[in-house]
Amino acid sequence: MVRESYKTGVSFGLTSGIITTLGLMVGLHSGTGSEVAVLGGIFTIAIADAFSDALGIHVSEEAKNGTKSKDIWESTIATLFAKFIFSMTFIVPVFLLSLDTAIIVSVVWGILMLGVFSFYIARDQKEKPLNVVMEHIAIALLVISITHYVGDWVGSVFA
């Protein structure tokens, strides 16, 4: 059985890594159309946001009464590595494909990863998987849609 501290870190890091990275990629793509900007954004998310999220989990876990120091650090480290690793998976399509195709492949990849993970979370919590999967995917698609239109707006106003 996986320790709760690792579940906390991996679930937060994976979810944040997927949604944040996709939102940034889609927004940068629609706003700039620049492969360099998208790659720079992915690397930035994978490094800066992974540390930021890890610190956020660390402080959040410290704020809970009775949480052991070992559990706090396990959640922190699991968040850092999960966020970094899952964010970095989006580098591959950008390196291998045209930017337009890489964005589509990345969205499909991210939604697939989020859906599979959400399915396992639902089963672990003894909830209806379809409801949990659809809820999580709907939120991700909302973020992706909003960042696309914000990127379009920024590109049209400031370009």
C-alpha closest to that of 109 among 3, 9, 11, 25? 25
- The three-class DSSP label of residue 128 is coil
Say if residue 1's pLDDT is above 90.
no
Tell me the pLDDT tens digit for each residue of 55-108.
999 999 999 988 899 999 999 999 999 999 999 999 999 999 999 999 999 999
Q: Where are the domains of the chain?
A: 4-158
Q: 30-67: b or e for each residue (b if 16 or more CB lie within 10 Å)?
A: bbbeeeebbbebbeebbeebbebbbeebbebbeeeeee
- How confident is the prediction for the chain on average, in pLDDT? 96
From CA 127, how far away is CA 134, in angstroms rounded? Answer: 13
Neighbouring C-beta atoms of residue 159, cutoff 10 Å:
8
pLDDT for 66 equals: 87
- Cα end-to-end span (Å), the chain: 52
